[in-house]
Every structure is written in C-alpha cells, then in structure tokens.
Amino acid sequence: MFDLLLLLTPAAFRNEYGAELRRAWSARRRDAPAFETLLLWLELIPDMLSTAIREHFDILRQDLRFAWRAFSSKPGFALTAILIVALGIGANTAIFTAVDYSLLRPLPFAAPDRLVTLWEDATQANFSPSNLEPSPANYLDWKQLSRSFEGMAAYRGLSTNLTGSGDPERLEGAVITAELLPVLGVQPLLGRSFTPEEDQAGGPKVVLLSHGLWVRRFGADPAVLGTIVRLDGVPHK
Amino acid sequence: MTPACFQILLSLAGEDRHGYAIMQDIASRSGGKFKLGPGTLYTNIRRLLEAGLIEEIDERPDAAIDDERRRYYRITRSGRRAAQSEAQRMEVLLRQARITGLLPRKT
C-alpha cells in the first residue's frame, strides 16, 4: 500500500527520497501503539496524495520556467519549435479525425454490425480487382432469390447539375432504390423515403435532399417539401 | 516561509537530525499538535535543500548506533538567518496581538 502511494509521486522525487520516506514511515509505525495503526494510515493517505500533487506541480513549474527562459533567449529557435509542434499537432489531429470517422465511430445507421456490402466475385474470370459491383439484373435476381438477408437495396453514385433559383451547382449524390433507407434503418429528417411505385422505370421523378444542401441552398426551409428541383434540366419533386 | 519549513529549520537549529528525528522533534515540541507526514516532510526538505537553507551531511552523530543508510541534515548559515527573521516577524506579531488584547499580556 505504501509503495502504491509512493508510485503517485514523480520518479525523480521517488528515486531521491523514496527509501528515506519508507524508513520514516516504518519507524513511525514501529513507534506507534498498535491501536493507532489505522489512524496513521488515515493520516498518511492525504499526506502522500498532497505530496504527489505538490511534487508534480513543482516539476511542471520548473519545466515551464525553463522553457520560458530558453524561448526568450532564442526567439528564432522558439518560433521554429512552436511551428514544428503546431504542424505536428495539426497533422496528428487531421489523421485522428479521419481514423475516428472511418474506423472508430460506428456508422450512423440503426444496426451497423448487421450491414454488409455485396459484390460480384470475378476471381474465376481472372478480373482485377475481383470485387465487382453487381449488374442491375443480378441485383434483382439476388434480391428475389436470397434468403440470407432481411433486406437488400442498391445504389450508385451520381453527379448532377442543380439549376433553378440561384447559381447552377454541381452535386455529388446517388441513385438509390426505395429499400435503401429502410435497410439502413434511417428516416429522412423531413418528408418521407421513396415509395415502391417511385422505384419503377418511368415512375415519378423524386429527389431526397441531403441535410447540407437543404441548409445551404434552401435555407433549411421546411416548405421545400413538394417543390420542384431541376437536376440536369429535368424537374424532380 | 511555510509553517512546515519553519518547523524543520527550528528542529535543525538545535542539532543535525535525520528525517524521522525531525518528525519526532516537531511532534514532541508541539505536544503532538503539529505533525508532519513523511511526504510533507521530504517535499519541504527538498525545497529547503534547493534554497540552500539546509544541507545534507555525511557525518553521523553516533555512528555506532546509527543506521548508516539514514540521511542527516544540517541548517546552513542562510537557513539560520531565514529562520531568525521568521521568528522575529512572529515575535512582532505576538507583541501586537498582546497589545491589542488578542492574547493575554505577559505577567
């Protein structure tokens, strides 16, 4: 127990005075009557905790004083050092942000651990890469015949031009099947998802705006629901 | 000067002592009212050493009965001066406390 308390103090202090502290503590315990043992421990714990805090604080103060003296005597060196540290912190933060979003945080869906991406395996055809996006016909077959999944949905990337009110804007979006949002377990903030009728060839042209676009282009106006938006010159509702 | 530092200087003003002897001396002089824990003691010993108010010595008061691993400390000349000026400051405060009736006057 005493050694654990001693571990809270900085290594420099421990190395210099640890043995002395232990000897003083042993002598104190030896000289005190047995019934005072508990009281001695109750005195020792706050004493060692406050000592650890004081010693760490003293080291910090010494380091800061030393750094300030070194920096004020060589400001050029100091600025270079600060710049390098700032760049290091910046790079670190950027990498961590990317890793955090892509690897650490769960996907923003209802059950991300139950979501999988389906690929066509083209190993036998000797294609490289061997993972291919399935053709629409294969997707429809898989969806109809598969018993392994609760639901299946498809999407592909889409670049389109938004025209109408304001300047034209190039948008990066996706064409999705009606099942995609239910499969992901998400709901639009405003309005509804697509219906099976809208998922048919020749069905109504409908669009779901991203939150960013809704805020930026439409001022987060709820009345945007049902208005006409022109994508590549084609009106969408 | 903190009370703990002053107590340590006061203890070493009489004779050279090791850490535990300083703790015992302080406790006995104050009738057990002022107790220094080992952590507080050695933090203040470190500070006093750094300030040059005490020094570590190699001599042993009684080498025959002493644990040779123990470290002994001695008050330096500047440590004695610092303790004296602290005591004088306290004396002035005590005098003022008596004049104002905060403490009973000496008979």
Beta strands in B1-107 (DSSP E): 17-18, 54-57, 72-75
Question: Do B20 and A9 make contact, defined as CB atoms within 8 angstroms?
Answer: no
Nearest to B71 among A20, A27, A44 (CB): A20
Determine contact, residues A13/B46, Cβ cutoff 8 Å.
yes
Q: Which of the four pLDDT bands, split at 50, 70 and 90, describes residue A174?
A: very high
**Domain B3-99: top CATH class:** mainly alpha
Segment A48-92, tens digit of pLDDT:
999 999 999 999 999 999 988 988 898 898 899 899 999 999 999
* Distance of alpha carbon A78 from alpha carbon A75, whole angstroms: 5
Q: Which residues of A149-185 are buried (b: 16+ CB within 10 A; e: fewer)?
A: eeebbbeeeeebebeeeeeeeebebeebbbbbbebbe
Please list the pLDDT of chain B residue by residue as tens digits (107 residues): 899 999 999 999 989 999 989 999 999 988 888 888 899 999 999 999 999 999 999 877 666 666 667 889 999 999 999 999 999 999 999 999 999 989 887 76
* Distance of alpha carbon B13 from alpha carbon A176, whole angstroms: 88
Considering only residues 31 to 50 of chain B, which have any Cβ-Cβ distance to chain A shorter than 8 Å? 35, 37-43, 45-46
Nearest to B38 among A21, A54, A55 (CB): A21
Long-range contacts of B76-83 (CB under 8 A, 24+ apart): B76/B52, B78/B52, B78/B53, B79/B9, B79/B12, B79/B48, B79/B52, B79/B53, B79/B54, B80/B9, B80/B13, B82/B1, B82/B9, B82/B53, B83/B6, B83/B9, B83/B10, B83/B13, B83/B53
At which residue do the structure tokens 């809208």 appear? Answer: A198
Give residue limits of the domains in chain B: 3-99
pLDDT for position A49: 92
Whether the full predicted model's pTM is greater than 0.80, yes or no, is no
Q: Which of A183-197, A217-231, B23-37, B59-73 has the lowest mean pLDDT?
A: B59-73
- Find chain B residues with C-beta within 8 A of A21's C-beta: 19, 38-39, 42
Give residue limits of the domains in chain A: 2-73, 109-152, 153-236
pLDDT average, residue stretch A209-223: 91
